[in-house]
Amino acid sequence: MTENILKLNKISKTYIIGNRKNAAKAQKEIQKLHKKYEDVCARNDARCKKETESLLEQAQALFSKEKYEESYRLITGKAIKPRAKDRGAVVHALDNVTLEIKKGELVAIVGPSGSGKSTLLNMLGLLDAPTAGLIYLGDLNVTGIKNKKLPEIRSKDLGFVFQSFNLIPSLTALENVILPLKYAGASKQRRREMAIKALESVGLGDRLDHTPNELSGGQGQRVAIARSIVNSPAIIFGDELTGELDTKMTKEIMELIQKLNDKGQTFIIVTHNPEVAKMCKRTIYMLDGRVEKDQLNRKS
């Protein structure tokens, strides 16, 4: 039960907005150096790895302190002049985040608006690439993985539930849940059985033929959960998955998630709701793109 299934190693995500030339130059050099670092890691060149790693760390530390000129000079040995008239901003959406997710965890990601929760979830779910840092799915380095392979990994190992459910309004609950199985290679009959089982496990065995507008908010969200679990992904990600639900339905959905988690399903969810976070086993507190606190919750 302690198997590591997902690991982020010193992940940064920066957005350069407008005309911040020196920041953009430094970022480019960091990315080049990172590529080199990945190569020496792959080659198992221990000494070169240590050197590159240390240089990368120093350059990134300067970058996150907004010392872009120093960061650039450290890597290239060349000086650039500070530009007083730079217009634009640098957003450090994630700043040097290291995290491990183990099989069977139920993790809440919390923090103020703009603290980097969704960005973090997008990295963990391989929906977006980091500016620097490494992501491992099991033992596999998936940071620089070819785009061609990504959809397959995503549909096989990663499930998603979002705030607005994303159910297709013209399809019934059953048809919505069958949808992700299109690529699973199972027979039509088998796919139907799998979808019915998933809907039964979220307590909707008697609502198979309802369309989304014939369901309550909580039921709609349960269909979305059924859709995410139907092909047994290693991890399910949720961003504000109870955001539009009232207190009672939120509790219902969280109890369902706890039940699925008890059976071994791993969940990582972003939430603003302290009650939701309390029902998770582990809480990761984000602040200004950093992990502020990472703690196990007492069983309530």
Ligand X SMILES: Nc1ncnc2c1ncn2[C@@H]1O[C@H](COP(=O)(O)OP(=O)(O)OP(=O)(O)O)[C@@H](O)[C@H]1O
Residues lying near Mg ion in the complex (CB under 5 A) are found at 118
118 scored as a contact of ligand X (CB under 6 A): yes
- Whether 69 contacts 79, CB under 8 Å: yes
Q: How far is the CB of 122 from Mg ion (least distance, A)?
A: 9
20 scored as a contact of ligand X (CB under 6 A): no
34 Cβ contact partners less than 8 Å away, ≥ 6 residues apart: 56, 132, 133
Among 7, 27, 63, 111, binds ligand X (CB under 6 A): 111
User: In terms of DSSP H, where are the helices of 84-182?
Assistant: 117-124, 150-157, 173-178
DSSP-derived letter for residue 179 is: G
Q: Give residues 88-107 in contact with ligand X (rule: CB under 6 A).
A: 91, 93
Q: Which is nearer to ligand X, 64 or 141 (CB)?
A: 64
Q: How far is the CB of 156 from ligand X (least distance, A)?
A: 26
From the list Mg ion, ligand X, none, pick the one residue 93 interacts with, judged by a Cβ distance below 5 to 8 Å according to partner type. ligand X
Instruction: Give the strands of the sheet with 87-102, arranged side by side.
Output: 87-102, 4-19, 132-137, 140-141
238 scored as a contact of ligand X (CB under 6 A): no
First to last CA, the chain: 21
Q: How far is the CB of 152 from Mg ion (least distance, A)?
A: 27
User: In terms of DSSP H, where are the helices of 208-246?
Assistant: 217-229
Count, residues near ligand X per rule CB under 6 A: 12
Q: How far is the CB of 270 from Mg ion (least distance, A)?
A: 6
Rounded Cα distance, 160 and 166, in Å? 10
Q: Which is nearer to ligand X, 128 or 246 (CB)?
A: 128
- Whether 143 contacts 130, CB under 8 Å: yes
**Residue in the block written with tokens 């299934």:** 5
Q: How far is the CB of 114 from ligand X (least distance, A)?
A: 4
Which residues would be at the binding site for ligand X (CB under 6 A)? Answer: 15, 17, 91, 93, 111, 113-119
